[in-house]
Amino acid sequence: MCNYRYTPKDQIMKELNQKLAIIQTKLKAKKSSYNKFGKYYFRKSEDILEAIKPFLIEQGVTVVINEEIISTDPVPTMQSTATISDGANAIHATALVGVDLNQKGMQTAQQFGAASTYGKKYALGNLLLIDDTEDADAAPQPSSAIDKIKKAALPAITVDQLKKAMEYVASGGSIDAIKTKYKLTAVQEKELNEQSKNTTKVKK
């Protein structure tokens, strides 16, 4: 039998996890903005940051957000990292966002700013377990800008994942469902479509 003993550092980390759990349970971030076109309310990163402020002194923690460009091909991709720390240990949560450089009516600085705002919100949401299922990008008619940002941030499908995707389609799965998770090349999408057609023929 192995008897594990907590070290002082382990104990501090455990306390930080408990503090984060308290914040995740109690935090309420309002949706202060309204989209007239889609007729829905949505929250910004500023709403989450404002909501978390009362917990910082109460729990003895800090929350910061860092951003960096991690890729430029095929589009600039920003990684936003939200971090909660007690000064000794830290817990991180990240979000990846592609920058839509083709968005009409926006200068480059605005395009990066839009991606930054989106990334910060979702990094904070991942850290604090904020469910945004009723947020802007979950509305019946999301903006094309959000669609493009989300699509650009999708990871390329690997060989193993493509194999599983083929099996999924062969069992009747939807190609559209795969495209919501992975970025497909024209060749890969053609292979999946052929697999889908073959599956349909067999069923008939």
* pLDDT tens for each residue of 50-68: 999 999 999 999 999 999 9
2 domain-assigned: no
Sheet holding 90-98: strands in order across?
Answer: 62-71, 77-85, 90-98
Q: Which phi and psi angles does 194 have, rounded to 5°?
A: -65, -40
118 domain-assigned: yes
Which two three-digit tokens encode residue 79?
A: 């990684």
1 domain-assigned: no
The total number of residues shown for the chain amounts to 204
Mean pLDDT of the chain: 81
Residues 118 and 28 placed together within one structural domain of the fold: yes
Reported confidence tier of residue 11, pLDDT bands at 50, 70, 90 = confident
Residues 135 and 167 placed together within one structural domain of the fold: no
Residues 59 and 135 placed together within one structural domain of the fold: yes
Residues 94 and 78 placed together within one structural domain of the fold: yes
Residues 187 and 146 placed together within one structural domain of the fold: no
42 domain-assigned: yes
Pairwise CA distance, residues 6 & 12, whole Å: 10
- Condensed to tens digits (0 to 9), the pLDDT of residues 64-81 reads 999 999 988 878 899 999
Pairwise CA distance, residues 7 & 2, whole Å: 15
Residues 56 and 135 placed together within one structural domain of the fold: yes
Residues 170 and 85 placed together within one structural domain of the fold: no
In terms of residue numbers, what domain contains 83? Answer: 10-152
174 domain-assigned: yes
86 domain-assigned: yes
Residues 189 and 167 placed together within one structural domain of the fold: yes
4 domain-assigned: no
- Which tops the pLDDT comparison, 169 or 117? 117
Q: What is the pLDDT of residue 126?
A: 92
Residues 193 and 138 placed together within one structural domain of the fold: no
Pairwise CA distance, residues 141 & 147, whole Å: 10
Residues 22 and 121 placed together within one structural domain of the fold: yes
Residues 147 and 165 placed together within one structural domain of the fold: no
- Which tops the pLDDT comparison, 82 or 71? 82
Residues 54 and 75 placed together within one structural domain of the fold: yes
- Total of domains in the chain: 2
From 176, 175, 36, 152, select the one nearest 99 (Cα to Cα).
152
Please determine, for residue 21, whether its predicted confidence score (pLDDT) is greater than 50: yes
